[in-house]
Every structure is written in C-alpha cells, then in structure tokens.
Amino acid sequence: MPQAETLARHFHLNSPLLRNACAIAATRGGSEPEPATFRLAPDHRVQVDRTGITIDYRGERVTKNAWAGAGWRFLPTRLTEIGTGSAAEPQRYFLETFAWIPTTPVEQPLWMLSWFASEVVGTELLAIPGDGVIARFTGAVPPDTFRIDDVPRLVVSDGQISRVVTGELASSVTVPPRRMP
C-alpha cells in the first residue's frame, strides 16, 4: 500500500482533481454517446459512434476523438443548423454533445451537466468558446432525461450567433464568425 500511494502521488502530483478522476473511473466506468448520424448536405455527413466523430465531406473522411470520461453519462447528441441571414455567411452547422460528469467519487456525487458545442466546417470540428456547465445535480445517478431545449441554445440576433444558457447557471458567449480551416 505505501508503494501504491507513492506512485499515485507521483502520477497525480497531489492534485485532488486527478485523484477524484481515478476514484470515479474505478467505481463508475465509462460510457459513450449514443450513435447518431446527421446529413448536412448531399456531400456532407457527420456520424457519432463509439469510434469517435466521423465527418464525410466531398469524398474526404476524417475521424475525430469523441467526448468521453470516467463515469460520464451522455444525453442525445444534436445538430443545430443556423442561418444568420447574411448572404456572405451561408448556413452554419453546430454539433452539440451533452454529458453528466461526476465531480466527486462519493455515494451522492455532485454531477455537472456539460454542453460541448463545435462547429462543423468541411472536415473540421471547431470548438465553440463557453464554459459549458448548464446544470448541477446531487445524487447517486443523474436524471436520464433533461430538457436540453429549455436551458442551452445557440441563438441568432442581428446576424450574430450566441451560445446562451438560461436558468441558475445563466451565461452568454458570442460565437466567433465562421473560420475556414
């Protein structure tokens, strides 16, 4: 036991966050997002499955790592298509992943519902800035459902897209103009 503790201190660098992650992984295991496929255009498709996020665009195929972590519990992935109304900026496509993430390894852990948003541009998946935490829950397991349409959203106002969270953890972050890869 003393040797294991010394190794753990070395690997964790005495970080409570890393120790918690290891304890959570040891007791809760992992999960992955539910498989989903989205067609953005006839020659543009995004597929989410256990292998990651695969983007097919004009004959090119790229697979990115999927979101995952110890004890995470995923809600359905969604695709949001936004037209800004500007002729200079065509439709924009945002892949949104939601996961309940345990932050403590105790019997009644604190769970954070995180919102990961990325823009799909060609074969690129560009992260959208913003904190990402949209709800909290304390209990052995988080709710199986959550009305994700009521709390987090991407909205357009005067041609500008914002990442908005309503409710207890309200926030708003402006989405940068489209960046071409």
Q: In 3D, which of 106, 181, 109, 115 has the Cα closest to residue 148?
A: 115
Q: What are 116's two structure tokens?
A: 């990961």
Kindly state the tokens that stand for 48.
């989410």
Q: What is the largest CA-CA distance in the chain?
A: 66
Classify 71 in phi/psi space as left (phi over 0), alpha (psi -120 to 50) or beta: left
Angle among Cα 69, 132, 74 to the nearest 5 degrees reads 40
Separation of alpha carbons 116 and 174, rounded Å: 15
- Answer for the pair 46, 37: CB distance below 8 angstroms, yes or no: yes
Residue 7 pLDDT > 80: no
Any bridge partners for residue 36, and if so which? 48
What are the tens digits of pLDDT across the range 66-111? 777 778 888 999 999 998 666 666 789 999 999 998 887 776 788 9
pLDDT at 30: 67
Give the helix, strand, coil percentages of the chain, each rounded to 5.
15, 45, 40
What is the total count of domains within the chain? 1
* Residue 181: inside a domain: no
Full residue range of the structural domain in which residue 157 is found: 2-174
At 14, the pLDDT band (50, 70, 90 cuts) reads low
**Predicted TM-score (pTM) of this structure:** 0.81
